[in-house]
Amino acid sequence: MKRPVTLFTGQWADLPFEEVARLAAQWGYDGLEIACWGDHLDVWRAAEDDAYLQSRLDILKANNLQVWAISNHLKGQAVCDDPIDERHQAIVSERVWGDGDPEGVRQRAAEELKLTAKVAARMGVRTVVGFTGSSIWQYVAMFPPVPAEWIDAGYQDFADRWNPIMDVFDAEGVRFALEVHPSEIAYDYWSTKRALEAIGHREAFGLNWDPSHMVWQQIDPVGFLVDFADRIYHVDCKDTKMAVGNGRNGRLSSHLPWGDPRRGWDFVSAGRGDINWEACFRALDYIGYDGPISIEWEDAGMDRLQGAPEALQFIRDQLFDPPAGAFDSAFSNQ
């Protein structure tokens, strides 16, 4: 079961889409997980301009690449977030930001997610990966004390905003894969269970599994795969390196930038951190996941032109096929 390996283009959006495709093909990637920012994919334009949409597909074809997923993390973040502020202005388009009125930003971001489903369907893509945002992430420390009703209202807000988006996904035959990630409505094991409950376990809403966000939270990425097997709609691979315990470097990382040695953990290129990738890929085999494996390359201490091809080789080495039969069947004389 040789799964295709793709490169997520989000961290390459400063380069033209054509250049990223050329590099990925040169390194041997099978396809791209296309980010809906930079010049890689403008979903509003793609929805209105057939020639523009075809140009994206033509670039893929010219480089012998395919696409199994597109990603709209940045606009998805704005759907539920509270507050909406200058951070969001920096990551959403002028069309979504508009006059900056927070509720207007949320509504326009939701409209873009609906359009993303329609564009994905036109591209022959079944999965959109992204974020949801959260109106209650700001209360994660639970102090000053947070009434339970506020948390309940946060999950209800998520359901109220995302169910209409998922109606469009259903109509288009496309699935949404939420990347379980700090600052989202689902950021760890139990918040994932509650988010799925809040949205009624509807089939269109699933998960993007990225173990790098689990390791530093002390969540078992293998157990997560097994327990949420029917909701694993996409896989992103990046690694996490925990700091050597010294009594000073904490898990919340002290508002320090990526790559600062005083952090309690950092993202690193796949294979250079603390994730047990062999156990993870054995679990993916066990649950029957046969979709793409997408490398989300992030490493503040390593040049990406070295890291992306190295990560590809590392991940390919993990993708051994499971056996056709039980190894102990040869012991039988029957």
pLDDT at position 78 is 98
Average pLDDT over residues 101-108: 98
Confidence of residue 83 (pLDDT cuts 50, 70, 90): very high
Structure confidence by residue, pLDDT tens digits, 222-274:
999 999 999 999 999 999 999 988 899 999 999 999 999 999 999 999 999 99
Cβ atoms of 65 and 31 within 8 Å: the answer is yes
Tokens 């909406």 belong to which residue? 84
pLDDT category of residue 329 using cuts at 50, 70 and 90? confident
Give the 3-state secondary structure of the chain.
Answer: CCCCEEEECHHHCCCCHHHHHHHHHHHCCCEEEEECCCCCCCHHHHHHCHHHHHHHHHHHHHCCCEEEEEECHHHHHHHHCCCCCHHHHHHCCHHHHCCCCHHHHHHHHHHHHHHHHHHHHHHCCCEEEECCCCCCHHHCCCCCCCCHHHHHHHHHHHHHHHHHHHHHHHHHCCEEEEECCCCCCCCCHHHHHHHHHHCCCCCCEEEEECCHHHHCCCCCHHHHHHHCHHHEEEEEECEEEECCCCCCCCCCHHHCCCCCCCCCEEEECCCCCCCCHHHHHHHHHHHCCCCCEEECCCCCCCCHHHHHHHHHHHHHHHCCCCCCCCHHHHHCCC
Domain total in the chain: 1
Mean pLDDT of 188-196: 98
Residue 190 tokens read as 């139990």
**Which pair of tokens denotes residue 191?**
């918040």
Per DSSP, what are the bridge partners of residue 295? 7, 237
- Asked if 171 and 128 count as a contact pair (C-beta separation under 8 A), the reply is no
Please check the confidence at residue 131 and state whether its pLDDT lies above 60. Answer: yes
Average pLDDT in the 172-189 region?
A: 98
Question: Would you state the structure tokens that stand for residue 130, as one six-digit string?
Answer: 């992204």
User: Among 197, 84, 176, which residue's Cα sits nearest to residue 132?
Assistant: 176
The CATH number linked to 240 is: 3.20.20.150
Query: What is the mean predicted confidence (pLDDT) over 317-330?
Result: 78
Quote the pLDDT of residue 334: 59
* Domain ranges, residue 128: 5-331
